[in-house]
Structure 1
Amino acid sequence: MEKEIILTNEGLNELKEELSNLINVIRPQVIEELVEARAQGDLSENADYDAARNRQAEVEARIKEVEGMLSKVKIIDDGGKKSSEVKVGNSVTFSNAKTKKDMTIKIVGAIEADPFENKISNESPLAKAMLGRSVGDTMEVRELKEPYKITIKEIK
């Protein structure tokens, strides 16, 4: 059985937009580049033609990859309502016992994870420690270096 790809509605829309852009904008541009490169004559020593063919292969591979992902998508409810326990799609505020700082992260599927936007993968050690827990729970996060304790303050 193929692994499900977990996405929020926002992530699904982004993936659909990327596919649409690849098919309707990028693919025609690459085809135009191929036509222009072919018009230059001898294809055996035509660097522009080789580059356009490589770009076409990359675009077609990405289209197939995105289509494959979309066929395995499982949408998670990220409706913004309060939850009693941490699930994928929740934003969680927690306190780190070591640093004494609070932080808020959103738990998303691996494809949507972006640490610069505080979106972490449901497969990360931090998310795994939080999933199924409630406000007030303290748990240990087992990282490669050194485990640390966190306490959940809020779940949205």
Structure 2
Amino acid sequence: MANISYYTAEGLAKLKEELAELKTKGRSEVARQLAEARDKGDLSENAEYDAAKDAQGHLELKISKLEEIVGNARLIDDSNLDLNKALILSKVKIKNLNNNMVLDYTLVSEEEANLAAGKISVKSPIGKGLLGKEVGDIAEISVPAGKLKFEILEISR
């Protein structure tokens, strides 16, 4: 079953760039490490060779996962999105009713999430709790620290 994820053009480009880097530079680096380890003699007792083979396995697994993600990625056409509801790519201004702190977040896919940049995943507890809400709605969200209440102040693209 395909796990489809939605991305901005920028987020999808970053994933493709990372995949290309792993396939070229990553593979050539692992091949170099394997060649160096092979040159050191007996492979049956060569820890460097074993480490390089492990690194190769991890690299190929990461490449495989990224290929699957990119293959199931869909670009978001934000021209058709409802501007009245918090959806993926929405910029949401919320007020934490517990401490009156006002926060700005952009709802993005899991791989694009970056809290320092104000981007939260739609799969995170807060992201899930905000999805589908409108301005003025109160979102009650269960997080590990307890229940939080947020008032939706503003939604934009």
What TM-score do you get using the length of structure 2 for normalisation? 0.88
Superposed counterparts of 1:21-100, under 5 Å = 21-77=21-77, 83-100=83-100
Task: Tell me the SS of whatever aligns to 1:140.
Answer: strand
SS in 2 for 1:120: strand
- Name 1:132's counterpart in structure 2: 132
* TM-superposed deviation, 1:82: 9.3
Moved over 3 A (4+): none
How far apart are 1:142 and its partner, in Å? 2.8
- Residues 26-70 of structure 1, C-alpha deviations (whole Å, 9 max, x = no match): 101110111111111111111111111111111111111110111
The size of the alignment, in residue pairs, is: 155
- Distance across 2 between alignment mates of 1:19 and 1:133: 35
2:135 partner letter: V
Alignment partners' CA distance in 2, 1:150 and 1:45: 60
Higher helix share goes to which structure? 2
Report the 3-state secondary structure (helix = DSSP H, G, I; strand = E; otherwise coil) of the residue aligned with 1:94.
strand
2:152 & 2:140 partners in 1: Cα distance? 11
Q: 1:103 is matched with which residue? A: 103
Matched residue type, 2:122: N
Q: Counterparts of 2:100 and 2:149 in 1: how far apart (Å)? A: 10
Residue pair 1:82, 1:155 contacting (<8 A) in 2 also: no
TM-score of the pair, normalised by structure 1 = 0.88
Q: Please, which moves more after superposition, 58-67 or 110-119?
A: 110-119
**1:79-112 Cα shifts (integer Å, max 9, x gaps):** 8x99222111112111111110100111111222
Unaligned 5+ runs, structure 2: none
